[in-house]
Amino acid sequence: MRRIYVLRYGHRPERDKRITTHVALVARAFGANGFILADIIDNKIFETIRKVEKRWGGRLHVEMGVNHRKYMEKWKRDNGIIVHLTMYGLHVDDVIDDIRKTDKDLLIVVGAEKVPRYFYEIADYNVAIGHQPHSEVAALAIFLDRLYQGRELHLSFPNAKVIIEPCAHGKKVISIGEKEAGKD
Ligand code: SAM
């Protein structure tokens, strides 16, 4: 299976705990199969991902503390391509068809604060989700949505303990095979 991994660069544990967790949760929910936290280990984020998976299913490949440079260089040596999300890049509408056509592994890089020039150079594609500054969470979600053309919103996850039954009003959570219904 083609690997679609998200690499988070520049995580600052004190400031970015929530937003980096959201990057990982969007990666999972929107169809990526790996999450790489570069240069630092943050066990709180790891625990949150595994906790969500325990209830809602799936198994994201997670690596933390890897050196971003070595990781990206190896990714390219292994014939994968790198997409760096940045407002300075080419508009997503102009490159997404090319990116979708390739069957190569895809590493999607998002930053936190300022991203060094190196990233712009190693990336095969610098992709802008519009040319206004916003958020790595929004940028990643929209990129994956465009890549999968909306299909990711219908994903179901293996080993889920619960699933949602869509409701016009209120909440309905159904436990798969056991008695957790209505817990959420
Ligand atoms: N000023 C920073 C810079 O020079 O890259 C932007 C920091 S922004 C808060 C954090 C991350 O969100 C960026 O590194 C980028 O990955 C993503 N991002 C924000 N706006 C974006 C946009 N319009 N298109 C693509 N990615 C964006």
What pLDDT digit, counting tens, does each position of 55-97 carry? Answer: 999 999 999 999 999 999 999 999 999 999 999 999 999 999 9
Q: pTM to 2 decimals?
A: 0.94
What pLDDT shows up at residue 178? Answer: 56
Alpha helices, DSSP H only, in 43-135? 43-56, 68-77, 92-101, 117-122
Pocket probe for ligand 1: among 136, 137, 140, 142, the residue whose CB has the most ligand atoms within 8 Å is 136
Ligand 1 midpoint to CA 166 (Å):
33
Ligand 1 midpoint to CA 178 (Å):
43
Selecting from 3.40.1280.10, 3.20.20.210, 3.40.50.720, 1.10.3720.10, what CATH number does the domain 4-183 have? 3.40.1280.10
C-beta of 85 in contact with ligand 1 (< 6 A): yes
What's the whole-number average pLDDT of the chain?
95
Q: Which of 57, 41, 44, 64 is nearest to 164 (CA)?
A: 57
Ligand 1 midpoint to CA 115 (Å):
9
128 Ramachandran zone, left/alpha/beta (phi>0; psi -120 to 50): beta
What residue owns the CA closest to ligand 1's atom 12?
Answer: 136
Which residues are CB-neighbours of 81 under 8 A, at least 6 positions away?
99, 102, 104, 105, 106, 107, 124, 125
Confidence of residue 145 (pLDDT cuts 50, 70, 90): very high
